[in-house]
Structure 1
Amino acid sequence: MPYRATALLLLTALPTLGFAQDCTDRAECWPEGSAMHTGVLLAEELRTLDEELAVAHKALIEQVGAAPVTDETPQPDGMLTRALRDQQKAWLRYRAGECQLIGALTGAGGSWPSAYATDCELSLGQQRLEDVQAARECINAISEQDRIFEQGECLRDLAPMARDLPIP
Structure 2
Amino acid sequence: MNAMTRIMLLIFACASSYAISEDSADSCTAENGGAMAAGLCIEGMLKKADEELNMAYKAAIERIREEDKYLKRNLEEEFRISQRAWLKYRDAHCSFEGESTGAAGGWSGIHISECILDMTKQ
TM-score by length of 1: 0.54
Whole-Å separation in 2 of the counterparts to 1:45 and 1:26: 20
Larger Rg: 1
Runs of 5+ consecutive residues of structure 2 not aligned to the other structure: 1-10, 23-29
Pairwise CA distance, 1:121 = 0.6
Distance 1:66 1:26 in 2: 51
The separation in 1 between residues aligned to 2:31 and 2:53, in whole angstroms, is: 30
Letter in 2 for 1:42: I
Deviation at residue 28 of structure 1 after TM alignment: 2.6
Distance in 2, matches of 1:25 and 1:122, equals 24
Deviation for aligned residue 1:88:
1.1
**Alignment deviations for residues 94-127 of structure 1 (CA, whole Å, 9 cap, x no partner):** 1111111111111110000000110001111111
Cα distance in 2 for partners of 1:110, 1:60 equals 39
Q: TM-score, normalised by structure 2?
A: 0.72
Q: Which residue of 1 aligns with 2:40?
A: 40
| Percent of pairs with identical residues | 32
Aligned with 2:96: secondary structure?
helix
Q: Distance in 1 between matches of 2:87 and 2:53?
A: 11
Matched, 1:85 2:80: yes
Q: How many residues align?
A: 105
Shift of 1:25: 8.3
RMSD over aligned CA atoms reads: 2.9
